[in-house]
């Protein structure tokens, strides 16, 4: 089986672009509905359930409303930058999905089609590049509004996004060391070959990545750029109608792409666990499913049903992270600003650096012992990572680094215990 | 096809540069500079230097320029911008200098000669970078020479950056 080439390649690529873009925007619309329904569920309310069955037409109604609403433009705003902000915010969030592989290659009569829009040689670096541009939209929007609350939100967001981008990048280094390349297709392949999803052998990197991704996305508990109780709604205070909607779409598109990225980097992407039949990768122009004992390549057998199954696996993993985002948002309170900076610079970055040393050293030792890249290799790394993660969580949980308002009371003891006793007697 | 993109990106890069110098609003200047940097990244992609393109955006457009934006916004909240260059004499001198620079560049590279040999560390002209990337993948193609042949210059540069960071802290904080 050959890769598609020529005209068939152009047609396949265009189809993939249109399909992914539509699907991303459609999913974004329904994630907003999911968030509202789940929030309602967690708060013991009903949520939007009037428009269509189970409220399924609500996103369409919202979209129409935002299109038809009046746009207000604040008198003191710089018009051009005010206009540019939402656009710059939306662009990176939607483009990142182009480098995420979403299913096993699909065989067609004209050749095998890779289920990824663009398999760039720089892969994850492209993601980092675009997500580092995402801050411009928010900062420009907040600054151009000429509103103190909006400006404060913009400053907070730029400080926060710059800080956590470092931790995000550093937590990725461990993944790159184990994967040996930066393309996302090869990362999926290496996870299939290791028999471990990277979430286990690189557990601490996974934890750090998830935390940084939450901060990058400005979601609770890191939603200081919006912080309704302090800043009205932060950087998009002055925006209305479709421009506001664009910021909103950008946030949810970012959430979706981040979830897809976490699924790809740490949960094996479209890989189906405990099954060798879906392992596929291009090695020297041939689609290979693995290597036999002598190192000779075994040819893979792509099939449409494998593509469909792996697509479902990818969707399930991505949905899990989308759900996690929503779950955390409606469970945790917001950090204070100094706590966010403290966590970013004094906890996340040193931990990530130390973890790189640890994983790098372990990989060196494993390679020196000539351990083959496979299950045992992953098992050793998992053991090392679990110890590191346990230590990290234990230190964080001592209430010294992120201490809330509750901390002082618990330390002094008396008042907290009294409150507990009152609750107990009420029960 | 590639030529069309090259001229488009080159025009954007030069336009961004001109816009950056002529804007009175520093935020506008900064955005034009970002446009120039992004177009340069596009030109790197046309030269098959994908890694360089990604790093160009990550480091310059994504990190340094965001810090600039941060500083500009913190220091320059009003709109009373003053042009740095005042008076006709400065203008004339500026144009003369840029003309001179352009002339030197045109004389050096304008002869239609191919960029080979001393200017490119990779022997072999067009297509050589692509072959290198296919063999070692995008990062390996740079990592090999950087950490093997140029290890000492690389480490010396890191020390230089460290010195700069320590210097900045010493300047900013009287008591450490």
Q: What is the pLDDT of residues B105-122, one digit of tens each?
A: 887 776 555 544 444 455
Report yes or no for ipTM above 0.95: no
Cβ contacts (< 8 Å) between B63 and chain A: which residues? 132, 162, 165
Q: What six digits make up the tokens of A38?
A: 């789940």
Matching residue, tokens 């680094």: A401
Residue (of A273, A304, A123, A279) closest to A193 by Cα position = A279
Buried b (16+ CB within 10 A) or exposed e, A374-403: eeebbbbbbebbeebbeebeeeeeeeeebe
Give B1's contacts in chain A (Cβ within 8 Å): none
In sequence order, the β-bridge partners of residue A106 are A113
Helix (H/G/I), strand (E/B), else coil: A179: helix
Asked whether the beta carbons of residue B66 and residue A132 sit closer than 8 angstroms, the reply is yes
The answer for residues whose C-beta is within 8 angstroms of residue A326's C-beta and 6 or more apart is A34, A35, A38, A39
Judged against a pLDDT cut of 70, whether residue A416 lies above it is answered with: no
| A125 closest CB neighbour out of B54, B67, B69 | B54
Q: Out of B50, B57, B66, whose CB is closest to A158?
A: B66
Report helix, strand or coil for A287. Answer: strand
**Cβ separation of A162 and B139 shorter than 8 Å?**
no
Cα of A104 vs its chain's centroid, Å = 21
* pLDDT tens, residue order, chain B (176 aa): 778 888 899 999 999 998 888 887 788 888 899 999 999 999 888 887 888 888 888 888 888 888 888 777 777 655 555 655 567 788 888 889 989 998 888 877 765 555 444 444 555 556 676 777 777 777 877 888 888 888 899 999 999 999 999 998 888 887 76
Q: Count of CB atoms within 10 A of residue A369's CB?
A: 9
Of 3.20.20.70, 1.20.120.10, 1.10.150.120, 1.20.120.1200, which CATH number belongs to B1-77? 1.20.120.1200
Contacts with B53 from chain A: Cβ below 8 Å: 122
- Between residues A405 and A5, the one the model is more confident about: A5
Model confidence, pTM: 0.83
- With a CB cutoff of 8 Å and minimum separation 6, the contacts of A252 are A28, A31, A32, A35
Task: Please answer yes or no on whether A135 and B50 come within 8 Å at the CB atom.
Answer: no
* A124 closest CA partner among A207, A59, A180: A180
Q: How far is CA B55 from CA A129, A179, A353, B33, B138, in A?
A: 7, 20, 20, 16, 12
**pLDDT at res. B120:** 47
Token pair listed for A157:
């967001």
Q: What is the DSSP string of A80-115?
A: HHHHHHHHHHHHHHHHGGGG---SSPEEETTEEEPS
Query: Is B121 within 8 Å of B49 (Cβ atoms)?
Result: no
Query: Where are chain B's structural domains?
Result: 1-77, 124-176
């Amino acid at each position: 089986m050959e890769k598609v080439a020529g005209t068939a390649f152009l047609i396949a690529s265009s189809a993939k672009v249109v399909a992914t873009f539509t699907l991303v925007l459609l999913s974004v619309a329904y994630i907003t509905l999911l968030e509202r329904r789940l929030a309602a569920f967690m708060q013991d309310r009903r949520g939007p359930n009037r428009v269509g069955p189970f409220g399924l037409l609500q996103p369409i109604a919202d979209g129409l409303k935002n299109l038809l609403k009046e746009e207000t433009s604040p008198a003191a705003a710089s018009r051009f930058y005010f206009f540019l902000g939402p656009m710059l915010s939306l662009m990176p969030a939607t483009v990142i999905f182009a480098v995420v592989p979403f299913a096993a290659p699909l065989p067609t009569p004209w050749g095998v089609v890779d289920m990824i829009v663009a398999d760039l040689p720089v892969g994850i670096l492209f993601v980092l590049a675009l997500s580092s541009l995402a801050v411009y939209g928010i900062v420009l929007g907040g600054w151009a509004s000429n509103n103190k609350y909006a400006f404060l939100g913009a400053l907070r967001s730029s400080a926060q996004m710059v800080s956590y981008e470092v931790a995000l990048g550093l937590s990725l280094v461990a993944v790159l060391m184990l994967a040996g390349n930066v393309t996302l297709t090869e990362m999926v392949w290496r996870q299939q070959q290791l028999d471990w999803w990277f979430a286990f052998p690189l557990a601490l990197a996974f934890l750090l990545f998830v935390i940084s991704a939450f901060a990058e996305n400005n979601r609770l508990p890191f939603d200081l750029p919006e912080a309704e109780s302090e800043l009205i709604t932060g950087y998009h205070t002055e925006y209305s109608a479709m421009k506001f909607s664009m910021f909103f779409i950008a946030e949810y598109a970012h959430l979706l792409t981040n979830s897809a990225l976490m699924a790809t980097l740490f949960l094996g992407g479209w890989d189906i666990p405990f099954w060798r039949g879906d392992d596929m990768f291009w090695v020297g122009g041939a689609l290979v499913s693995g290597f036999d004992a002598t190192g000779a390549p075994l040819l893979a057998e792509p099939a449409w049903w494998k593509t469909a199954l792996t697509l479902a696996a990818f969707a399930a993993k991505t949905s899990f992270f989308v759900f996690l985002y929503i779950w955390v948002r409606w469970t945790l309170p917001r950090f204070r600003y100094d706590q966010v900076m403290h966590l970013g610079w004094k906890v996340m970055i040193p931990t990530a650096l130390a973890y790189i040393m640890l994983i790098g050293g372990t990989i060196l030792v494993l390679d020196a012992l000539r351990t083959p890249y496979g299950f045992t290799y992953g098992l050793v790394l998992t053991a090392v990572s679990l110890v590191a993660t346990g230590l990290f969580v234990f230190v964080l949980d001592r209430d010294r680094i992120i201490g809330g308002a509750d901390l002082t009371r618990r330390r002094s003891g008396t008042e907290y215990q009294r409150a507990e006793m009152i609750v107990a007697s009420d029960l | 096809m590639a030529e069309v993109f090259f001229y488009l990106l080159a025009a954007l890069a030069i336009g961004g540069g001109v816009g950056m110098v002529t804007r009175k609003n520093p935020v506008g200047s900064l955005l034009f500079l970002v446009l120039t940097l992004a177009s340069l990244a596009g030109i790197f992609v046309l030269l098959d230097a994908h890694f360089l393109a990604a790093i160009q955006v990550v480091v310059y457009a994504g990190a340094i320029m965001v810090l600039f934006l941060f500083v500009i916004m913190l220091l320059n909240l009003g709109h009373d911008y003053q042009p740095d260059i005042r008076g006709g004499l400065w203008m004339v001198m500026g144009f003369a200098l840029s003309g001179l620079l352009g002339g030197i560049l045109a004389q050096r590279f304008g002869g239609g000669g191919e960029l080979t040999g001393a200017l490119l560390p990779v022997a072999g002209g067009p297509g050589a970078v692509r072959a290198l990337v296919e063999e070692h993948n995008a990062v390996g193609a740079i990592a090999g020479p950087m950490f093997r042949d140029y290890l000492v210059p690389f480490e010396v540069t890191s020390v230089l950056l460290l010195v700069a960071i320590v210097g900045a802290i010493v300047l900013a904080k009287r008591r450490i």
